[in-house]
Amino acid sequence: MVAYHFPPLAGSSGIQRTLRFVQHLTALGWQPIVLTASPWAYAQTSSDLMADVPAEVVVKRSFALDTARHLSLRGRYWGALALPDRWATWRFAAVYDGLQLIRRYRPEAIWSTYPIATAHLIGAELQRRSGLPWVADFRDPMVQEGYPTDPQQWQHFQHIEDRVARSAARVVFTTPGALKTYGERYPAAAARMALIENGYDEESFRGAVAPAPVARSDAPVVILHSGIVYPAERDPTQLFIALATLNAQALVTPAMLRLKFRASAHDANLRALAARYQVEDFIELGAALPYREALSEMLAADALLILQDAGCNDQIPAKLYEYLRAGRPILGLTDPRGDTAHALRQAGLNAIAALEDAAAITALLPNFLAEVRAGRASLPQPQAVASASRLARTHALISLLDDIKKTVSA
Protein backbone atom coordinates (compact mmCIF):
# COMPACT_ATOMS: atom_id res chain seq x y z
CA MET A 1 0.00 0.00 0.00
CA VAL A 2 1.77 3.12 -1.29
CA ALA A 3 0.58 6.11 0.72
CA TYR A 4 2.19 9.43 1.59
CA HIS A 5 -0.48 10.18 4.22
CA PHE A 6 0.30 7.86 7.11
CA PRO A 7 1.19 8.31 10.79
CA PRO A 8 3.08 10.21 12.15
CA LEU A 9 1.91 12.83 9.64
CA ALA A 10 -0.30 15.39 11.41
CA GLY A 11 -2.88 17.83 10.12
CA SER A 12 -4.52 15.81 7.34
CA SER A 13 -7.66 13.68 7.37
CA GLY A 14 -6.13 11.81 4.42
CA ILE A 15 -4.33 9.61 6.94
CA GLN A 16 -7.56 7.92 7.94
CA ARG A 17 -8.31 6.08 4.67
CA THR A 18 -5.06 4.13 4.48
CA LEU A 19 -4.67 3.72 8.24
CA ARG A 20 -8.16 2.24 8.71
CA PHE A 21 -7.83 -0.02 5.67
CA VAL A 22 -4.59 -1.31 7.19
CA GLN A 23 -6.28 -1.95 10.54
CA HIS A 24 -9.33 -3.74 9.18
CA LEU A 25 -7.50 -5.69 6.48
CA THR A 26 -5.22 -7.08 9.20
CA ALA A 27 -8.19 -8.05 11.37
CA LEU A 28 -9.90 -9.71 8.38
CA GLY A 29 -6.99 -11.98 7.50
CA TRP A 30 -5.05 -9.93 4.95
CA GLN A 31 -1.44 -8.81 5.37
CA PRO A 32 -1.02 -5.20 4.28
CA ILE A 33 2.50 -3.86 3.74
CA VAL A 34 2.84 -0.08 3.87
CA LEU A 35 5.30 1.90 1.75
CA THR A 36 5.27 5.51 2.91
CA ALA A 37 7.51 8.56 3.20
CA SER A 38 10.15 9.31 5.80
CA PRO A 39 8.80 11.52 8.61
CA TRP A 40 11.05 14.48 7.76
CA ALA A 41 9.00 14.90 4.57
CA TYR A 42 6.07 16.00 6.78
CA ALA A 43 5.69 19.61 7.87
CA GLN A 44 3.98 18.46 11.07
CA THR A 45 4.09 15.17 12.94
CA SER A 46 2.23 13.68 15.88
CA SER A 47 2.46 10.35 17.65
CA ASP A 48 -1.24 10.18 18.59
CA LEU A 49 -2.16 7.68 15.82
CA MET A 50 1.00 5.58 15.84
CA ALA A 51 -0.55 3.10 18.26
CA ASP A 52 -3.36 2.46 15.74
CA VAL A 53 -0.92 0.86 13.30
CA PRO A 54 -1.07 -2.90 14.03
CA ALA A 55 2.23 -4.14 15.44
CA GLU A 56 2.47 -6.95 12.88
CA VAL A 57 2.19 -4.62 9.86
CA VAL A 58 5.41 -3.99 7.94
CA VAL A 59 5.89 -0.24 7.40
CA LYS A 60 8.74 0.94 5.19
CA ARG A 61 9.48 4.67 5.29
CA SER A 62 11.42 5.66 2.19
CA PHE A 63 13.64 8.72 1.91
CA ALA A 64 11.70 11.80 0.77
CA LEU A 65 12.14 15.55 0.87
CA ASP A 66 9.62 18.38 0.65
CA THR A 67 10.98 20.55 -2.14
CA ALA A 68 9.44 23.71 -0.70
CA ARG A 69 11.11 23.23 2.67
CA HIS A 70 14.28 21.30 1.96
CA LEU A 71 15.38 22.36 -1.53
CA SER A 72 14.50 26.06 -1.55
CA LEU A 73 16.77 29.08 -1.29
CA ARG A 74 15.24 32.17 0.31
CA GLY A 75 11.81 30.71 -0.20
CA ARG A 76 12.29 29.90 -3.89
CA TYR A 77 12.97 26.57 -5.58
CA TRP A 78 13.38 25.15 -9.08
CA GLY A 79 9.93 24.15 -10.29
CA ALA A 80 11.15 20.97 -11.99
CA LEU A 81 12.02 19.58 -8.56
CA ALA A 82 8.34 19.77 -7.58
CA LEU A 83 6.80 17.80 -10.45
CA PRO A 84 4.35 16.22 -10.20
CA ASP A 85 4.35 17.54 -6.61
CA ARG A 86 6.66 18.75 -3.84
CA TRP A 87 7.47 15.19 -2.78
CA ALA A 88 8.79 13.99 -6.14
CA THR A 89 12.06 12.90 -4.50
CA TRP A 90 10.13 10.18 -2.66
CA ARG A 91 9.76 8.26 -5.92
CA PHE A 92 13.36 7.12 -6.28
CA ALA A 93 13.90 5.48 -2.89
CA ALA A 94 10.32 4.22 -2.76
CA VAL A 95 10.58 2.29 -6.04
CA TYR A 96 13.80 0.67 -4.85
CA ASP A 97 12.35 -0.14 -1.42
CA GLY A 98 9.09 -1.32 -2.95
CA LEU A 99 10.85 -3.82 -5.18
CA GLN A 100 12.74 -5.16 -2.16
CA LEU A 101 9.44 -5.59 -0.30
CA ILE A 102 7.89 -7.37 -3.30
CA ARG A 103 10.79 -9.81 -3.54
CA ARG A 104 10.68 -10.55 0.17
CA TYR A 105 6.93 -10.74 0.89
CA ARG A 106 5.44 -11.76 -2.49
CA PRO A 107 2.29 -9.60 -2.30
CA GLU A 108 -0.71 -10.26 -4.53
CA ALA A 109 -1.44 -6.64 -5.44
CA ILE A 110 -0.13 -3.07 -5.32
CA TRP A 111 -2.37 -0.23 -4.06
CA SER A 112 -1.47 3.46 -4.30
CA THR A 113 -3.51 6.48 -3.26
CA TYR A 114 -3.70 10.08 -4.55
CA PRO A 115 -3.13 12.75 -3.40
CA ILE A 116 0.00 12.80 -3.41
CA ALA A 117 0.49 12.25 -7.20
CA THR A 118 3.98 10.78 -6.70
CA ALA A 119 2.33 7.79 -4.99
CA HIS A 120 0.73 6.79 -8.30
CA LEU A 121 4.06 7.13 -10.11
CA ILE A 122 5.55 4.76 -7.55
CA GLY A 123 2.63 2.34 -7.91
CA ALA A 124 2.86 2.44 -11.70
CA GLU A 125 6.60 1.75 -11.72
CA LEU A 126 6.27 -1.11 -9.23
CA GLN A 127 3.52 -2.58 -11.40
CA ARG A 128 5.65 -2.27 -14.54
CA ARG A 129 8.63 -3.97 -12.97
CA SER A 130 6.79 -6.69 -11.03
CA GLY A 131 3.78 -7.46 -13.21
CA LEU A 132 1.52 -7.40 -10.13
CA PRO A 133 -2.02 -6.03 -10.49
CA TRP A 134 -2.21 -2.37 -9.46
CA VAL A 135 -5.13 -0.60 -7.76
CA ALA A 136 -4.99 3.20 -8.18
CA ASP A 137 -7.06 4.99 -5.53
CA PHE A 138 -8.23 8.59 -6.17
CA ARG A 139 -9.39 10.33 -3.01
CA ASP A 140 -9.81 13.47 -5.13
CA PRO A 141 -10.08 14.01 -8.88
CA MET A 142 -6.68 14.76 -10.38
CA VAL A 143 -6.97 16.81 -13.60
CA GLN A 144 -9.84 19.30 -13.52
CA GLU A 145 -10.78 22.44 -15.42
CA GLY A 146 -8.40 25.09 -14.16
CA TYR A 147 -6.56 22.67 -11.87
CA PRO A 148 -3.64 22.39 -11.55
CA THR A 149 -3.09 26.01 -12.50
CA ASP A 150 0.55 25.44 -13.49
CA PRO A 151 0.66 24.13 -17.10
CA GLN A 152 3.63 21.83 -16.47
CA GLN A 153 2.00 20.27 -13.42
CA TRP A 154 -1.25 19.88 -15.38
CA GLN A 155 0.63 17.97 -18.08
CA HIS A 156 2.28 15.73 -15.49
CA PHE A 157 -1.08 14.99 -13.87
CA GLN A 158 -2.58 14.23 -17.29
CA HIS A 159 0.27 11.83 -18.02
CA ILE A 160 -0.29 10.04 -14.70
CA GLU A 161 -4.03 9.73 -15.35
CA ASP A 162 -3.37 8.27 -18.80
CA ARG A 163 -0.94 5.76 -17.32
CA VAL A 164 -3.46 4.75 -14.67
CA ALA A 165 -6.15 4.24 -17.31
CA ARG A 166 -3.81 2.02 -19.35
CA SER A 167 -2.13 0.00 -16.62
CA ALA A 168 -4.23 -0.22 -13.46
CA ALA A 169 -6.23 -3.38 -12.82
CA ARG A 170 -8.75 -1.27 -10.91
CA VAL A 171 -9.25 2.48 -10.50
CA VAL A 172 -11.07 3.44 -7.30
CA PHE A 173 -12.91 6.70 -6.57
CA THR A 174 -14.50 8.00 -3.39
CA THR A 175 -17.55 9.76 -4.85
CA PRO A 176 -20.17 8.92 -7.50
CA GLY A 177 -19.44 12.15 -9.38
CA ALA A 178 -15.74 11.37 -9.75
CA LEU A 179 -16.53 7.82 -10.87
CA LYS A 180 -18.90 9.14 -13.53
CA THR A 181 -16.49 11.86 -14.70
CA TYR A 182 -13.58 9.46 -15.12
CA GLY A 183 -15.73 6.81 -16.75
CA GLU A 184 -16.66 9.37 -19.40
CA ARG A 185 -13.07 10.62 -19.69
CA TYR A 186 -11.61 7.11 -20.12
CA PRO A 187 -14.40 4.92 -21.52
CA ALA A 188 -12.02 2.07 -22.36
CA ALA A 189 -11.14 1.79 -18.66
CA ALA A 190 -14.67 2.37 -17.28
CA ALA A 191 -15.28 -1.34 -16.62
CA ARG A 192 -12.22 -1.36 -14.35
CA MET A 193 -13.44 1.56 -12.24
CA ALA A 194 -15.11 1.22 -8.83
CA LEU A 195 -16.54 3.29 -5.97
CA ILE A 196 -15.29 2.90 -2.39
CA GLU A 197 -16.29 5.95 -0.38
CA ASN A 198 -14.55 7.34 2.67
CA GLY A 199 -16.00 6.59 6.09
CA TYR A 200 -15.60 6.80 9.85
CA ASP A 201 -13.83 4.48 12.27
CA GLU A 202 -16.10 3.08 14.98
CA GLU A 203 -13.22 2.09 17.25
CA SER A 204 -11.98 5.68 17.29
CA PHE A 205 -15.41 6.93 18.32
CA ARG A 206 -15.47 4.45 21.18
CA GLY A 207 -12.43 6.25 22.53
CA ALA A 208 -14.12 9.64 22.13
CA VAL A 209 -16.08 10.31 25.31
CA ALA A 210 -18.10 13.48 25.08
CA PRO A 211 -21.87 13.61 25.51
CA ALA A 212 -23.86 15.61 23.00
CA PRO A 213 -25.51 18.43 24.98
CA VAL A 214 -28.84 20.09 24.28
CA ALA A 215 -28.41 23.79 23.55
CA ARG A 216 -29.47 25.95 26.50
CA SER A 217 -31.72 28.92 25.94
CA ASP A 218 -29.20 31.24 27.63
CA ALA A 219 -26.15 30.13 25.62
CA PRO A 220 -25.20 30.56 21.96
CA VAL A 221 -25.61 27.57 19.67
CA VAL A 222 -22.13 26.25 18.85
CA ILE A 223 -21.62 25.21 15.23
CA LEU A 224 -18.27 23.50 14.68
CA HIS A 225 -16.16 23.26 11.55
CA SER A 226 -13.42 20.72 12.23
CA GLY A 227 -10.49 20.79 9.82
CA ILE A 228 -8.88 22.82 7.07
CA VAL A 229 -10.71 25.82 5.61
CA TYR A 230 -9.16 26.10 2.15
CA PRO A 231 -9.28 29.78 1.06
CA ALA A 232 -10.65 28.84 -2.38
CA GLU A 233 -12.64 25.61 -2.10
CA ARG A 234 -14.07 26.37 1.37
CA ASP A 235 -14.16 30.15 1.31
CA PRO A 236 -16.57 31.32 4.07
CA THR A 237 -16.91 34.88 2.71
CA GLN A 238 -20.60 34.57 1.82
CA LEU A 239 -21.33 32.96 5.19
CA PHE A 240 -19.72 35.96 6.93
CA ILE A 241 -21.72 38.35 4.72
CA ALA A 242 -24.89 36.48 5.73
CA LEU A 243 -23.94 36.77 9.40
CA ALA A 244 -23.36 40.52 9.02
CA THR A 245 -26.78 40.91 7.39
CA LEU A 246 -28.57 38.85 10.04
CA ASN A 247 -26.75 40.63 12.86
CA ALA A 248 -27.74 44.05 11.48
CA GLN A 249 -31.37 42.87 11.50
CA ALA A 250 -31.00 41.37 15.00
CA LEU A 251 -32.18 38.01 13.60
CA VAL A 252 -28.93 36.21 14.51
CA THR A 253 -26.57 37.80 17.02
CA PRO A 254 -23.34 36.68 18.72
CA ALA A 255 -25.43 35.88 21.79
CA MET A 256 -27.29 33.33 19.67
CA LEU A 257 -24.51 31.75 17.59
CA ARG A 258 -20.84 30.84 17.95
CA LEU A 259 -18.97 29.52 14.88
CA LYS A 260 -15.98 27.47 16.02
CA PHE A 261 -13.23 26.72 13.49
CA ARG A 262 -10.95 23.95 14.73
CA ALA A 263 -7.55 23.48 13.04
CA SER A 264 -8.47 25.63 10.02
CA ALA A 265 -4.80 25.93 8.92
CA HIS A 266 -5.76 29.42 7.72
CA ASP A 267 -6.61 31.30 10.92
CA ALA A 268 -5.13 34.56 9.66
CA ASN A 269 -7.39 34.50 6.61
CA LEU A 270 -10.45 33.80 8.78
CA ARG A 271 -9.54 36.65 11.15
CA ALA A 272 -9.13 39.06 8.24
CA LEU A 273 -12.47 38.05 6.71
CA ALA A 274 -14.26 38.30 10.06
CA ALA A 275 -12.82 41.77 10.61
CA ARG A 276 -13.75 42.89 7.08
CA TYR A 277 -17.39 41.99 7.62
CA GLN A 278 -17.43 42.90 11.33
CA VAL A 279 -18.46 39.46 12.54
CA GLU A 280 -15.50 38.80 14.87
CA ASP A 281 -17.82 38.26 17.83
CA PHE A 282 -19.36 35.23 16.11
CA ILE A 283 -16.03 33.51 15.46
CA GLU A 284 -13.84 31.28 17.61
CA LEU A 285 -10.58 29.77 16.34
CA GLY A 286 -8.94 26.70 17.88
CA ALA A 287 -5.66 24.86 17.39
CA ALA A 288 -5.43 21.27 16.17
CA LEU A 289 -6.35 18.52 18.64
CA PRO A 290 -5.32 14.86 18.82
CA TYR A 291 -7.66 12.82 16.65
CA ARG A 292 -9.88 11.34 19.34
CA GLU A 293 -10.17 14.69 21.11
CA ALA A 294 -11.32 16.19 17.82
CA LEU A 295 -13.98 13.47 17.55
CA SER A 296 -15.07 14.19 21.14
CA GLU A 297 -15.52 17.84 20.20
CA MET A 298 -17.73 16.83 17.28
CA LEU A 299 -19.88 14.76 19.63
CA ALA A 300 -20.25 17.73 21.99
CA ALA A 301 -21.07 20.39 19.38
CA ASP A 302 -24.63 21.63 18.99
CA ALA A 303 -24.24 21.33 15.21
CA LEU A 304 -21.54 20.72 12.60
CA LEU A 305 -20.61 22.73 9.52
CA ILE A 306 -19.62 21.56 6.03
CA LEU A 307 -18.06 24.05 3.59
CA GLN A 308 -17.65 22.96 -0.04
CA ASP A 309 -17.89 25.11 -3.15
CA ALA A 310 -19.40 24.18 -6.52
CA GLY A 311 -15.96 23.56 -8.01
CA CYS A 312 -15.75 20.48 -5.79
CA ASN A 313 -19.09 18.92 -6.74
CA ASP A 314 -17.38 15.59 -7.48
CA GLN A 315 -15.78 15.53 -4.02
CA ILE A 316 -17.05 14.84 -0.50
CA PRO A 317 -15.01 16.06 2.49
CA ALA A 318 -13.79 13.02 4.43
CA LYS A 319 -14.95 14.69 7.64
CA LEU A 320 -18.58 14.37 6.51
CA TYR A 321 -18.60 10.69 7.44
CA GLU A 322 -17.26 11.47 10.91
CA TYR A 323 -19.94 14.14 11.19
CA LEU A 324 -22.59 11.55 10.35
CA ARG A 325 -21.29 9.20 13.04
CA ALA A 326 -21.22 12.05 15.57
CA GLY A 327 -24.99 12.16 15.23
CA ARG A 328 -25.35 15.94 15.39
CA PRO A 329 -27.33 18.27 13.10
CA ILE A 330 -25.30 19.31 10.05
CA LEU A 331 -25.40 22.64 8.23
CA GLY A 332 -24.28 21.94 4.66
CA LEU A 333 -23.03 25.01 2.81
CA THR A 334 -22.43 23.32 -0.51
CA ASP A 335 -23.90 23.26 -4.01
CA PRO A 336 -27.29 21.48 -3.78
CA ARG A 337 -26.41 19.68 -7.05
CA GLY A 338 -23.10 18.23 -5.83
CA ASP A 339 -22.10 14.91 -4.28
CA THR A 340 -21.75 16.39 -0.79
CA ALA A 341 -25.34 17.64 -0.82
CA HIS A 342 -26.50 14.29 -2.20
CA ALA A 343 -24.76 12.44 0.64
CA LEU A 344 -26.39 14.76 3.19
CA ARG A 345 -29.86 14.21 1.72
CA GLN A 346 -29.32 10.44 1.65
CA ALA A 347 -28.69 10.66 5.40
CA GLY A 348 -31.95 12.58 5.91
CA LEU A 349 -30.34 16.02 6.25
CA ASN A 350 -31.71 18.97 4.29
CA ALA A 351 -30.18 22.12 5.83
CA ILE A 352 -28.31 22.92 2.61
CA ALA A 353 -27.45 26.18 0.87
CA ALA A 354 -24.81 26.99 -1.74
CA LEU A 355 -21.57 28.25 -0.17
CA GLU A 356 -21.39 31.01 -2.79
CA ASP A 357 -24.95 32.29 -2.12
CA ALA A 358 -25.15 34.75 0.78
CA ALA A 359 -28.89 35.26 0.27
CA ALA A 360 -29.61 31.53 0.52
CA ILE A 361 -27.47 31.24 3.67
CA THR A 362 -29.26 34.28 5.15
CA ALA A 363 -32.61 32.60 4.53
CA LEU A 364 -31.53 29.22 5.92
CA LEU A 365 -29.57 30.08 9.04
CA PRO A 366 -32.22 31.52 11.42
CA ASN A 367 -34.56 28.55 11.01
CA PHE A 368 -31.68 26.07 11.37
CA LEU A 369 -30.58 27.70 14.62
CA ALA A 370 -34.15 27.70 15.95
CA GLU A 371 -34.53 23.99 15.20
CA VAL A 372 -31.20 23.16 16.85
CA ARG A 373 -32.07 25.16 19.95
CA ALA A 374 -35.48 23.50 20.19
CA GLY A 375 -34.05 20.00 19.67
CA ARG A 376 -36.02 19.55 16.44
CA ALA A 377 -33.17 19.63 13.91
CA SER A 378 -32.82 16.53 11.75
CA LEU A 379 -30.14 14.04 12.76
CA PRO A 380 -28.34 11.55 10.49
CA GLN A 381 -30.39 8.42 9.88
CA PRO A 382 -28.94 5.30 11.57
CA GLN A 383 -28.93 3.21 8.38
CA ALA A 384 -26.90 5.82 6.52
CA VAL A 385 -24.46 6.03 9.41
CA ALA A 386 -23.97 2.25 9.63
CA SER A 387 -23.25 1.92 5.90
CA ALA A 388 -20.49 4.55 6.12
CA SER A 389 -18.22 2.72 8.56
CA ARG A 390 -14.59 2.08 7.60
CA LEU A 391 -15.19 -1.62 8.27
CA ALA A 392 -17.91 -1.68 5.61
CA ARG A 393 -15.57 0.13 3.19
CA THR A 394 -12.82 -2.43 3.89
CA HIS A 395 -15.17 -5.28 3.01
CA ALA A 396 -15.75 -3.49 -0.31
CA LEU A 397 -11.98 -3.27 -0.85
CA ILE A 398 -11.59 -6.99 -0.07
CA SER A 399 -14.29 -7.83 -2.62
CA LEU A 400 -12.40 -5.80 -5.19
CA LEU A 401 -9.11 -7.54 -4.36
CA ASP A 402 -10.78 -10.96 -4.50
CA ASP A 403 -12.17 -10.09 -7.91
CA ILE A 404 -8.70 -9.13 -9.12
CA LYS A 405 -7.30 -12.45 -7.86
CA LYS A 406 -9.97 -14.37 -9.77
CA THR A 407 -9.21 -12.40 -12.92
CA VAL A 408 -5.47 -13.04 -12.59
CA SER A 409 -6.06 -16.76 -11.92
CA ALA A 410 -8.29 -17.08 -14.95
Average pLDDT over residues 58-82: 91
pTM score, whole prediction: 0.90
Judge whether 15-199+389-409 and 209-387 match in fold: yes
Residue 148 has a pLDDT of: 93
Q: Domain 15-199+389-409 belongs to what architecture?
A: 3-Layer(aba) Sandwich (3.40)
Going from N- to C-terminal start, the domains of the chain cover: 15-199+389-409, 209-387
SS3 88: coil
Q: Which residues of 366-403 are buried (b: 16+ CB within 10 A; e: fewer)?
A: eebbeebbeeebebbeeebbeebbbbebbeebbebbee
Superfamily of domain 209-387: Glycogen Phosphorylase B; (3.40.50.2000)
How far is 278 from 241, CA to CA, in rounded Å?
Answer: 9
pLDDT-derived band at 149 (thresholds 50, 70, 90) equals: very high
pLDDT-derived band at 94 (thresholds 50, 70, 90) equals: very high
**Cα dihedral across residues 119, 121, 126, 127: positive or negative:** positive
Whether 270 has a pLDDT exceeding 60, the answer reads yes
Residue 45 has a pLDDT of: 95
Question: Is the peptide bond prior to 236 cis by the omega test (within 30 degrees of 0)?
Answer: no
pLDDT > 70 in the chain, percent: 98
pLDDT-derived band at 217 (thresholds 50, 70, 90) equals: low
How far is 10 from 294, CA to CA, in rounded Å?
Answer: 13
Average pLDDT over residues 103-130: 98
Residue 216 has a pLDDT of: 58
Task: Rounding to the nearest 10 degrees, give the CA dihedral for residues 393, 394, 395, 397.
Answer: 90
DSSP codes of every residue in 346-398: HTT---EE-TT-HHHHHHHHHHHHHHHHHT-S----HHHHHHTBHHHHHHHHH
Q: Is 281 exposed, middle or buried (0-12, 13-18, 19+ CB in 10 A)?
A: middle
Whether 253 has a pLDDT exceeding 60, the answer reads yes
Residue 209 has a pLDDT of: 74
Residue 75 has a pLDDT of: 82
Question: Is the peptide bond prior to 8 cis by the omega test (within 30 degrees of 0)?
Answer: yes
Q: What does pLDDT average to over the chain?
A: 95
Q: Which residues of 114-142 are buried (b: 16+ CB within 10 A; e: fewer)?
A: bbbbbbbbbbbbbbeebebbbbbbbbbbb
Q: What is the pLDDT of residues 197-208, one digit of tens each?
A: 999 999 999 888
Whether 214 has a pLDDT exceeding 80, the answer reads no
Is the Cβ–Cβ distance between 317 and 340 less than 8 Å?
Answer: yes
Average pLDDT over residues 232-247: 97
pLDDT-derived band at 211 (thresholds 50, 70, 90) equals: low
pLDDT-derived band at 78 (thresholds 50, 70, 90) equals: confident
Classify 138 in phi/psi space as left (phi over 0), alpha (psi -120 to 50) or beta.
beta
Whether 4 has a pLDDT exceeding 60, the answer reads yes
Average pLDDT over residues 84-88: 97
Q: What is the pLDDT of residues 285-328, one digit of tens each?
A: 999 999 999 999 999 999 999 999 999 999 999 999 999 999 99
Average pLDDT over residues 65-73: 91
Whether 249 has a pLDDT exceeding 90, the answer reads yes
- Rounded to 10 deg, the angle between the 117-130 and 151-167 helix axes is 40
